[in-house]
């Protein structure tokens, strides 16, 4: 899953440390989310969306795998 978290956070002038504090996670968690190494829980995804006043779909982009068959 891709996301626009870093882009959105930087546009609003928010540091990783500050976002992490508001969300109750570590700065490393924010970094891992932004680097695509970690997918958030649904609860964390909702918290992030609510914090930025955006729909989840505008922050987190789900892409189906290319080799996945549609049934």
pLDDT in tens, 13-58: 999 999 999 999 999 999 999 999 999 999 999 999 999 999 999 9
3 C-beta neighbours (distance < 10 Å), count: 21
- Give the integer Cα–Cα distance in Å for 62 and 64: 7
Q: What's the confidence (pLDDT) of residue 62?
A: 86
Give the 3-state secondary structure of residue 70.
Answer: coil
CATH annotation of 2-61:
1.10.260.40
pLDDT in tens, 4-20: 999 999 999 999 999 99
- Give the integer Cα–Cα distance in Å for 2 and 19: 19
């Amino acid at each position: 899953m891709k996301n626009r978290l870093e882009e959105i956070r930087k546009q609003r002038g928010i540091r990783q440390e500050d976002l992490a504090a508001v969300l109750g996670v570590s700065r490393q968690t924010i970094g891992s989310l932004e680097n695509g190494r970690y997918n958030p829980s649904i609860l964390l995804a909702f918290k992030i969306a609510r914090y930025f006043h955006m729909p989840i779909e505008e922050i987190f982009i789900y892409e189906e795998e290319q080799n996945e068959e549609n049934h």
